Structure formats: structure tokens, C-alpha cells
Structure 1
């Protein structure tokens, strides 16, 4: 009986080790992208301190970095991964996440907002809102970061 407990324990430890290895290998590209984006943003823009990072995959992949400039103003930097171009805006120059969600609720009737993230399409900084309807259909709603105006939506996926 003790032999079986020992064997089962060894198998569990090996399985946990494999799962940890898979997880670490899965998050490594995101960690690398975050470090790359932070370095680029600090070298090429007025960003001094990074406070947040996200990836946006639209027509192009963008690294979206939030942080502070030398004047302690909150800024956002969109970095086009492929073309290595940058767009920098003050947070105060655009609408907030909450205002973008409010815009969605003025136009649509989402059952649940799943994710809200910054992105860029055709050179326009935007908020991408991923939500589900009461029929559990996937929808995307895009709001202009600067003006808060509706840009486009993709419905019923």
C-alpha cells in the first residue's frame, strides 16, 4: 500500500511539473512582448514609467502601454509591432473606459461586457469592447478614443 502511495505521489509531482512548464512556456511570449514594448516606449516616447501593458490584435498587432511621462501625466502609447511606429496620447485627451462602455449601452443592449481594451485601426486610437448578447452571441463594438464616437461594430459571431 505504501508503495502505491509513493508511486501516485511521484506521478502527481511529475504532472504538476509538466503543467508548470507548459504554463511558463505559454506566458513567455507575452512577458517578452511586455519587456520589448516598455523598452521601445521609454526610448522613443515621453514615457518614463510603465503602469500597464496589453496586446491588441486587429489589422496589425499593437503593444498598448500606459504610464507616466516626466510631468507625471498619464499617457498611452500604441506601438505597431510590425512597422515600429508609435502613437502617443495623454489619457486626458480621450474618453475613459467607463465612457466607452456607456456609449455601448446607449446604442446596444449587451447582456454582459466581457472585455474592454485599447487598440488602433487605420491610425485611429480606439476602445474595443467585446460583449455578449442575451442569446450568448459574440459582438465587438469600437469607439473612437478621442471623440467617443462609434466607429464600427461586428455582430452575432
Structure 2
């Protein structure tokens, strides 16, 4: 009985180790992209602290950094993969996440909002809202970060 329990524990530990290794390997490209993007952003903006990093995949791939400048002010940095042109905005100069959601709610009646994140299309910083409609279809709503104007919609009826 002891040998059976020890064998099961060894097998579980082995597969857990494999899963951890696969996860760490899968995260390497994202971690590498973050390091490069932060280094590039620091050449343009004095970023003291990075609060969030994600990769936006729209027409082009864009690295998005949310953080704080040396003076404590919240900043957002967009870096398109192709051009590496750093675009910086103060967070308070554009729409907040909640304001973007409220804009969607005024126009649409989503069943469930799945995600809201910053991105960029054609060098225009934006909020991408990914949601499900009443008939359980996936939809996207894009709002300009700077002006709050609707940029585009991808709707399924």
C-alpha cells in the first residue's frame, strides 16, 4: 500500500513539474516583450513603476504599459511592434475604463462584459470592450481613448 501511495505522489509531482515548466516556457515571450517595451518606454518617459503590461493584437501588435511616472502621475504608453514609436498619454487626459464601459452601456445592452483593455488601431489609442449580447454572440466595441468617440464596432446579430 505504501509503495502505491508513493508511486502516485511521484507521478503527480512529475506531471506538476512538467506543467510548471510548460507554463514558464509559454510566458517567456511575454516577459521578454515586457522587458523590451519597458526599456524603450523609459527612454521616452520617466516611468518609475509598471502597474500593468499587456500585448494588444488588433490590425497590428501593440505593447501597452500602464504605470506611474517619477512624479507619481499615472501614465499609459503604447508601443507598436512594427514602428517602435512610443506614444504616451497621462491617464487623466483620456477616458477611464469605467467611462468607456458607461459609453457602451448608453448605446448597447450587453449581457456580459468579458474584458475591457487598452489598445491601438492606426496610431489611435483606444479602449477595446469585448462583450456578449443577449443572444450570446461575441461583439467588440472600440472607443477612442483621447476623445471618447466611437471608433468602430464588430457586431454579430
Match of 2:52 in 1: 52
1:14 maps to what in 2?
Answer: 14
Deviations 1:63-102 (A, max 9, x none): 1111222332211110011211111111111011000000
Counterparts of 1:47-126 in structure 2 under 5 Å? 47-126=47-126
Partner of 1:26: 26
**Residue 8 of structure 2 corresponds to residue 4 of structure 1:** no
Gaps of 5+ in 1: none
CA distance in 2, matches of 1:118, 1:72: 20
**TM-score, scaled to structure 2:** 0.93
Q: CA deviation at 1:38?
A: 1.2
Q: Which segments of 5 or more consecutive residues in structure 2 lack a partner in the other structure? A: none
After superposition, the C-alpha distances for 1:12-57 in whole angstroms (9 at most, x for unaligned) are 1111111111111112221222222111111233433322212111
* Runs of 4+ in structure 1 over 6 Å off: none
CA distance in 1, matches of 2:26, 2:62: 19
| Structure 2 CA distance for aligned equivalents of residues 22 and 71 of structure 1 | 39
Aligned equivalents of 1:152 and 1:77: distance in 2? 22
Measure the CA separation in 2 of the matches of 1:68 and 1:5: 51
Deviation at 1:62, TM superposition (A): 0.8
Matching of residue 152 in structure 1 with residue 152 in structure 2: yes
What's the secondary structure of 2:110's corresponding residue?
A: coil
Distance across 2 between alignment mates of 1:139 and 1:25: 32
Using the alignment, how far apart are the partners of 2:52 and 2:5 within structure 1? 46
TM-score w.r.t. length of structure 1: 0.93
1:133 — aligned with what? 133
Mean CA deviation greater in 93-102 or 63-72: 63-72
Q: Distance in 2 between matches of 1:134 and 1:52?
A: 31
Q: CA RMSD in A?
A: 1.5
